[in-house]
DNA sequence: TCGTCTTACGAGAAGCGTAAGAATT
DNA sequence: AATTCTTACGCTTCTCGTAAGACGA
């Protein structure tokens, strides 16, 4: 169960090919073949069926473990290095598009004003990624968002080691409707009234999460594998499907006039933003974290 | 961050000696020295100060990660092997002394009656160990106990991979008092009334947990690093200190006449038993698990 | 000076690449 | 027949043990 072999195994499984994995990892096919053989002989079990290459039941089981395990290993390494690294005047912030709202951006600006020497480097990421980026030390602070019942914490991927998550903001939800939608005039809608409408499936608001919270249904009209809010709103305006967003993401000048927000009245849900960080050494990063949560 | 090196590192840190770790692991001192050097050069940090051998701050940080990480690795291995192993008619049960109450033992007996070919092998363990034993595949089923607020789940060590914990039993708590104790006649006591009494510190009921639940205080009169209930009660009878136990652990014939149980009325706490198991293949083990929780 | 860790060096094992062989499609 | 994985073999690298050296108590 050498992590090296585990990495090779997940890469092979992902590609469904020894040669493709070899290319990605910078080995020859032969080396990959030997590594997989070594792992299989270590466990005493076949992990992959060949031609076509696909995991056996035992292999599938191992795949479920390997990802979190390797993540935890990288996180541990990053944590040790971080604890020993000297304080820098660079803050690397990873944020999901909907987490960095105008309000949160404002708080960040105020925190920077108190810390003029601080350089901030922002990158956007998917909701599922923020925790891993922070855990692996690629970001000092993370801002994720998600939809939950009021005051509930976000459900973060486990096994990323010691990490602090603090609520930063909560706001109500709206459904973005095209201007010509029949429900446009309403002062509020229940999600249940829209189970049969067509929806956009995007990382910004995955339909799977919506179904978790509001029951089955919510068929996907269009899947958009990107996280640009502007694009999403144009898709809504064009009638490709509906989407649930935090209320203040749908105020001018962001909102095109052909999209109308209608508050979600039931179930009682909110859009929540949380700040993620590992144990921070005293310094600018910790100050900004305090300012964002304070 | 090779797990092999990590194992060596934790062993050295535990012994505070390269030579002792070498003896335990079956290497020469030289090999240990080279392994530690390799780990330090991999991370680019000194992890141990020599003579005396003790972890640096970075080393201490790594130690916090290494244990759970290695446990998770062993658990993953065990889980893959377990999933591929053929069903056996052997049930290995790991139970803490207070988890296997008369009631739970009775349920186990009934489950065995329905499954006559089933061989049961029982081992007792400490509360903190049960989860690891199950995760690493050394036991099929685990029974742990602990003190919690009513209906709260036990707090299990994290990072042991996918594991199911199901409540099996809850019962009220009593304080075991020596027969000549002034509170003996009472129908109930609050723990707060006993913060200044002397207590036994044992794995059966760690004082640290009591302080978590009922505030500071609870000085240790005697620390007993064993888990024999009979011994503990003799210690109580002799006046070495008090202890909190589940009510039915203190009924005849277990209870010596020189120990008197008095119910704990506040805070509202219970003794809870939980059954632990990994994903079980259909078979005798799963049947017994169902019988114990049902 | 004694115990303990580090370093030097040689032997063995492990891992990778090249190249040829086998198995599917 | 073409593609893809496996195996054989040689080379390199890694790791360990022995033994000598260095460092503290």
Cα B218 from Cα B196, distance rounded (Å): 6
| Interface probe with A: pick from B84, B86, B158, most Cβ of A within 10 Å | B84
State residue B186's pLDDT score: 84
Radius of gyration of chain B from Cα atoms?
Answer: 22
Q: Extract the residue ranges of chain A whose pLDDT is less than 50.
A: none
Give A 14-73 residues with CB within 8 A of chain B.
43-45, 57-58, 61-62, 64-66, 68-69, 72-73
CA–CA separation, B81 and B91 (whole Å): 16
Residues 134-193 of A with CB under 8 A from B: 158-159, 161-162
**Residue A10 Cβ < 7 Å to strand D:** no
Neighbour-count burial for A71-107, b at 16+ CB within 10 Å, e otherwise: bbbbbbbbbbebbbeeeeeebbbbbbbbbbbeebeeb
- Nearest nucleotide (CA of A28 to C1'): C17
What is the DSSP annotation of chain A?
--HHHHHHHHHHHHHT-HHHHHHHHT--HHHHHHHHHHHHHHHTS--EETTTTEE-HHHHHHHHHHHHHHHHHHHHHHHHHHHHSPP-SEEEEEE-TTTS-HHHHHHHHHHHHT-TT-EEEEEE--TTTHHHHHHTTS-SEEEEEEEESTTPPP---S-S-S-EEEEEEEEEEEEEEETT-GGGG-S-EEGGGGTTS-EEEBTTB-HHHHHHHH-S---EEEE-----HHHHHHHHHTTS-BEEEEGGGGSTTTS-TTEEEEEEEES--EEEEEEEE-PPPTTHHHHHHHHHH-
Q: Which strand C bases fall within 7 angstroms of a protein CB?
A: 4-8, 15-20, 23-25
Q: What is the pLDDT of residues A61-103, one digit of tens each?
A: 999 999 999 999 999 999 999 888 887 888 999 999 999 988 8
Residue-level pLDDT at A5: 96
Cα B258–Cα B263–Cα B265 angle in degrees, nearest 5 = 150
Pairing relation of β-strands A199-201 and A220-223?
parallel
> Which residues touch B128 (CB under 8 Å, ≥6 apart)?
B157
Q: What does the mean pLDDT of chain A come to?
A: 89
Q: Which positions in strand D are less than 7 Å from the protein's CB atoms?
A: 4-8, 15-20, 23-25
Alpha-carbon distances of A213 from A146, A200, A216, B231, rounded to whole Å: 12, 16, 9, 52
pLDDT tens profile A140-174 = 999 999 999 998 899 887 777 778 899 999 999 99
Cβ–Cβ contact A114 with B under 8 A: no
Cα–Cα dist B247/B152, whole Å: 18
% of chain A at pLDDT higher than 70: 98
State the DSSP code for B261: E
In the three-class reduction of DSSP (H, G, I as helix; E, B as strand; rest coil), residue B207 is classed as helix
Choosing among B41, B45, B65, which should be mutated to test the A contact, i.e. which has the most A CBs within 10 A? B65
Q: Do B73 and A69 touch (CB under 8 A)?
A: yes
Please give, rounded to a whole number of angstroms, the shortest distance from the CA of B41 to a CA of chain A.
12
Sign, CA torsion B22/B28/B31/B33 = positive
A31 CB and strand C closer than 7 A: yes
* pLDDT of res. B253: 62
User: E-assigned strands of B133-258?
Assistant: 141-148, 164-178, 189-190, 199-201, 220-223, 243-246
Question: For every one of its 294 residues, what pLDDT tens digit does chain B have, with 9 covering 90 and above?
Answer: 999 999 999 999 999 999 999 999 999 999 999 999 999 999 999 999 988 889 999 999 999 999 999 999 999 999 999 888 887 888 999 999 999 988 889 888 888 888 888 888 999 999 888 999 999 999 999 999 999 999 889 988 777 777 889 999 999 999 999 988 888 888 889 988 898 999 999 999 999 999 998 888 899 889 999 888 888 888 888 889 999 999 988 876 656 667 888 999 978 999 999 999 998 888 888 888 888 887
pLDDT (0 to 100) of residue A249: 84
Could you write out the DSSP letters of every residue in B91-128? EEEEE-TTTS-HHHHHHHHHHHHT-TT-EEEEEE--TT
- Give the CA-to-C1' distance from A13 to C20 in angstroms: 27
């Amino acid at each position: 169960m050498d992590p090296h072999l585990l990495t090779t195994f997940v890469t092979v499984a992902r590609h469904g090919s020894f040669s493709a994995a070899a290319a990605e990892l910078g080995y020859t096919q032969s080396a990959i073949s030997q590594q997989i053989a070594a792992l299989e002989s270590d466990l005493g079990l076949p992990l992959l069926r060949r031609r076509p290459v696909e995991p056996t039941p035992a292999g599938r089981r191992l795949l479920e473990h390997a990802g979190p395990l390797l993540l935890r290993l990288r996180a541990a390494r990053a944590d040790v290095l971080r604890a020993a690294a000297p304080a820098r005047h660079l803050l690397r912030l990873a944020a999901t598009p909907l987490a960095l709202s105008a309000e949160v951006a404002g708080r960040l600006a105020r925190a920077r004003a108190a810390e003029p020497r601080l350089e901030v480097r922002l990158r956007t990421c998917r909701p599922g990624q923020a925790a891993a980026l922070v855990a692996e030390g690629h970001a000092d602070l993370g801002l994720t968002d998600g939809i939950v019942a009021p005051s509930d914490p976000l459900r973060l991927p486990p096994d990323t080691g010691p990490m602090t998550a603090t609520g930063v903001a909560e706001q109500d939800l709206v459904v973005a409707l095209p201007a010509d939608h029949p429900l446009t005039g309403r002062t509020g809608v229940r999600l249940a009234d829209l189970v049969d409408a067509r929806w956009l499936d995007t990382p910004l608001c995955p339909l799977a999460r919506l179904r978790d919270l509001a029951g089955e249904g919510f068929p996907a009209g269009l899947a958009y594998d990107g996280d640009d809010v502007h694009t999403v709103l144009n898709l809504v305006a064009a009638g490709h499907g509906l989407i649930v967003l935090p209320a203040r993401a749908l105020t001018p000048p962001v909102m095109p006039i052909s999209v109308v927000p209608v508050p979600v009245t039931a179930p009682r849900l909110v859009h929540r933003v949380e700040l993620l960080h590992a144990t921070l050494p005293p310094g600018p990063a910790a100050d900004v974290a305090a300012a964002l949560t304070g």
